[in-house]
Structure 1
């Protein structure tokens, strides 16, 4: 059964996606009826961003290009598998992606409060989830990468908007409107960039800038 996951990981990579974890949901997890394995799917860095930039969704000038790309690519893959694709943008009601992510055993709350992944670090994001009818074997959960880390994320925000006290969204956005805040707008959140795992993940700065403009339009 391990070969099944390896095949799915290869199929994800061919679509510039990555399997970021999975779990076997119970009735309390809010997964679709008949789902025996739920896989969390994110961008396959570093190839994802160039592939998305070359897509018709990126080039057509219409709204929500990344969500439309995800529905075309992930939705088409789900059809070939006889699975169901679920997207974080669909709602309300919205699927409990944060709960699902933590249920994989590969995602935790970081010291700064935002999610951290064992490979993507604080750059973790999800384009969707695949609800499979088959129960496939999954590897054991790794240790949380924050254990033994010197936790640069706690001091990385120039205005202290992210940390143990929670997320000061107004303070963050006010800073982004300043000249100094252009660094975060152009390169991505300083807290996310501070994570040692994030720095090795290969996410393009242009991709981070895209997400920052979605979060805080000019």
Structure 2
């Protein structure tokens, strides 16, 4: 491989879309996703967003492609695949089979923890962030200048970050849900969807976004716009 891109180039290539590299990790060989040629990936770059930086770009694309199925997934592939090929690398996505362990990758790469809602909570972004895909690199790229110093930790990622929920005594995210859909037994998706189809659920959660998520005090400056929250809620329903 000649003239490999550096980690800064990855950020630069993603920047016009509002997406960004969210973390890097070196998977163990026996737990690595397999590249098209049969080689296990040696380096993984998670691609995602903090807050709604990508929303204006995606929203414009969506208006230009009103008939696109699964528009956010389709747009993510449209953005990430050509960048991965240019680096060169291979793109994988949360919505594609075989399912990849994106949540586990994010916990390893960024040291994050699950919140009581099941979503990973970031100490700065709170619950207002996400992962749209990942770029996998083979061994040659992983040794190239700019990549060789990434994800050097023993487990292939970084140290665990502070868990914001540990210092949150009131846990307002749990008490804010009108139907108490979040419990120690997991997320009662059926109860949530049934509530969203009621007039009360339509006026509250569907219009302004999940009340439980919105109750979290961490990362408020990264909160999604109402238009973005309505889009995500409609996709969930």
Superposition TM-score tier, normalisation by shorter sequence: 0.7 to 0.9
Deviation at 1:140, TM superposition (A): 4.2
Q: What TM-score results when the alignment is normalised by the length of structure 1?
A: 0.85
Consecutive unaligned residues of structure 2, counting only runs of 5 or more, are 143-147, 152-156
State the secondary structure of the residue aligned to 1:196: coil
Residue 201 of structure 2: which of 165, 169, 181 is its match? Answer: 181
Q: Is the 8 A contact 1:17 1:48 kept in 2?
A: yes
State the secondary structure of the residue aligned to 2:233: helix
In structure 2, the partner of 1:197 is 218
In structure 1, the partner of 2:133 is 128
In structure 2, the partner of 1:153 is 173
Consecutive unaligned residues of structure 1, counting only runs of 5 or more, are none
In structure 2, the partner of 1:11 is 13
In structure 1, the partner of 2:56 is 50
State the secondary structure of the residue aligned to 2:47: strand
Provide the rounded CA distance (Å) in 2 between the counterparts of 1:56 and 1:49.
10
Q: 1:69 to 1:199 in 2, by over 3 A?
A: same
Provide the rounded CA distance (Å) in 2 between the counterparts of 1:22 and 1:47.
20
State the secondary structure of the residue aligned to 1:146: helix
State the secondary structure of the residue aligned to 2:107: helix
Q: Is the 8 A contact 2:116 2:182 kept in 1?
A: no
State the secondary structure of the residue aligned to 2:129: coil
In structure 2, the partner of 1:116 is 121
TM-align CA RMSD:
2.4
Q: 1:166 to 1:44 in 2, by over 3 A?
A: closer
Deviation readout 1:73-119 (Å, 9 max, x if unpaired):
1011101110111011112x311222222222432111333322333
Deviation readout 1:19-66 (Å, 9 max, x if unpaired):
222211112434233422212111353331111111167533231111
State the secondary structure of the residue aligned to 1:35: coil
Q: 1:180 to 1:136 in 2, by over 3 A?
A: farther
Deviation at 1:162, TM superposition (A): 1.3
Residue 101 of structure 2: which of 96, 99, 103 is its match? Answer: 96
Q: Is the 8 A contact 1:13 1:44 kept in 2?
A: no
Deviation at 1:190, TM superposition (A): 1.4
Provide the rounded CA distance (Å) in 1 between the counterparts of 2:85 and 2:178.
45
Provide the rounded CA distance (Å) in 2 between the counterparts of 1:125 and 1:167.
19
In structure 2, the partner of 1:137 is 150
Provide the rounded CA distance (Å) in 2 between the counterparts of 1:28 and 1:179.
50
